[in-house]
Homo-oligomer: A and B are copies of this chain.
Amino acid sequence: MAHQDQDWFTETCDEAGTKFSLMLHRKLHAEQTPYQKIEVYETTHFGNLLVLDGFIMLSARDNFIYHEMMSHTALFTHPAPHRVLIVGGGDCGCLREVLKHSSVETAELVELDERVTRVSERYFPELCASNDDARARLVFTDGIEWVARAAAGAYDVVIVDSTDPVGQAARLFQAPFYADCRRVLGADGLLIVQSESPLIHLSLIRSIRSEMRKAGFDDLSTLHFPQCTYPSGWWSATLAGGRLSHAEFRERGARCRPFTTRYYNADIHRAALARPEFVHFNEE
């Protein structure tokens, strides 16, 4: 639920009893697509703001944390990521980060709603800066069907950059989809999914991990990072699969990476793996 009064965009988080508001200069864009309502606002302090069905997807100011942590943690954990699939992520922020890795040969982005990408190209051109990279392929179709039809072992890393688990997106948090992800990943293959707030969605994180286990993923790590514009200001990603312990990521590669980041580095990668004392998982 959200409302916009004259000067503020406000998102309500019903399950936490909280609201978060950003001060606005103006509304830049609004449209109803076959899938959702897309809005873009110009905020006073957080740059442009992308909103889908009333929920904040990203701000120009703080999206770097989310996109870097969804991408580089997985790509520096896989020993040699060549073929990457991004499910969702139509704003193209993860795609840009993935393509910073010279090992990547193909990066496919499968987004249901082409309009999210077209709107992002216009209002968040910095996130779409690598869309013309020869290794990038943008496909506008249902990611769940795409994964169901993809060949076994087709990908090294699958990144699920989804909206919250409501409506269509709910299936992205369930075992049948994770089983398909497991099939399309090679033996070293890694899945990473955005997994909501450790403070207010811990039961959902437990559910995601349980569904992943049902799908055959034995090695799971939930990583934590700040994300100001998401509920509670604290977010997580859950990494599944791979042949090596997630703690044994390519730390030297991360430390000597030949590209710039704004949040991610090797120390931050290791820090994100630390488990707060109150976070317990049933399976442990």
Interface, chain A (partner B; CB < 8 A) = 8, 10, 15-23, 43-46, 62, 64-65, 198-200, 224, 226-228, 232-234, 260-265, 267-268, 270-278
Contact = CB atoms under 8 A, between A and B. Distances in A.
A7 to B, nearest CB: 10
Contacts of A273: 267, 271
Contacts of A62: 199
Given A232-B233, A233-B234, A20 B17 contact: no
Contacts of A44: 17
A96 to B, nearest CB: 16
Given A10-B19, A267-B273, 14 more contacts: A17-B22, A18-B45, A18-B228, A19-B21, A199-B228, A228-B234, A263-B276, A263-B277, A263-B278, A265-B276, A267-B274, A268-B275, A268-B276, A271-B272
A253 to B, nearest CB: 15
Contacts of A234: 226, 228, 233-234
In the A-B complex, list the 4 residue pairs whose CB atoms are closest, starting with the nearest.
A233-B233, A17-B45, A271-B271, A17-B23
14 contacts: A10-B19, A15-B45, A17-B43, A18-B22, A19-B20, A19-B21, A19-B23, A200-B228, A233-B233, A263-B278, A267-B274, A267-B275, A268-B275, A271-B273
B16 A8 contact: no
